[in-house]
A and B are shown apart, each in its own frame.
Chain A
């Protein structure tokens, strides 16, 4: 179908975008790469929105090294995340995830910030940043806020970004020496959304494990993390299967997704043990 848009304006700066958002009477939608938003407009899942195009704001793009981590601008494309040497070195989970996200032409325009703000529970990046313990940066006309990732994803397509705010970027801690990061998923075809997926990070102070496509938002599996910390993989699989409540749909049943989550956790753990992470 054809997109239905109530209007369009290109922002000249972040401040300008925030002013337009405030003036849009709640009808404003922030347009970055558009790889989910324009698809939604085409499918008429949303109609009459006024589009605030932030895609040219160079201030929101790129990856920089900070004292203890990396700061990733919201407009950094999936393709750039995939080839960025700082990310490959310090947050390899994100580099690995790019290979699972859609297709080359979509990765060229899709943005990290767009993926996080859209908060599709089947998407890879939200689960990755949850596993990494990221901090999300949002800005409104009254100033900026930092949101811990544990508080950011709230429900299907719902985040802690408030009316009038724009996600400007995120910070992720740098991988410690010896830290391992792995993402595994099962999808029916290359580039499809996963039936289930797992992100596993091992740090000196313990494991972090997140899952996607198993509920209305990415899940941090704390019971399974505690079992992994004790070296108990069977216990971790059991704990994991008890702490998720996956949906049944035309792609897979809840029971199959729960089974798959356990299989994927074992695969991720084996990858880390095998040193292929």
Chain B
């Protein structure tokens, strides 16, 4: 795709997920460009509302879905606030895909442990679809998912289906106790007691708020997983997605070009990263 040109895309379906998040189904209008558009799990696009602004959003759908992409967007700022007010049929701009991806090929033959906190499940969703489509390549797939409150759990309507069809294990936990919640209460690290990890045969993908990384990686390191087998997606402010505006610069790297996906070893050696 060209660098500065955004492609007209139609939002044709909007699924409200929680009070703050909606899932947008977006189709690039031009059939040729739509066909050309490919991405890998972990990559993101710059989504633009002309006249309002541009935001980096992780792609949340399966890479084999050539018709449209799914973007799960939390209402936090000017652009996302306006996006939440759009109706199906609205036209937005898309540039990308940008960034690095989770190295799914490297993980062939191993267990995959996906650890998500809050909105962190969004980029992991395309990983889950990938793992399903190449199910025989991987051994056990486990998802540990923590949210603040039960009402903030994303994609829970799909969990049952994933569990059955994809043959994977999902454990959820919430931080704040709530009525009608019969599941676990606590921090995401509490779930580790319930998951036996085979360190030599496991890759971990971690996505969530910065505060979560430290504790999760400390545990995974203690268990014995190599730091180069743990991956994470870093969040930073981005204005261009092309390594020029420097807004996402951390130490000597650019999150948009060299990331957002990094292995823990790299991040550990980056000042200011987590």
A binds B: no
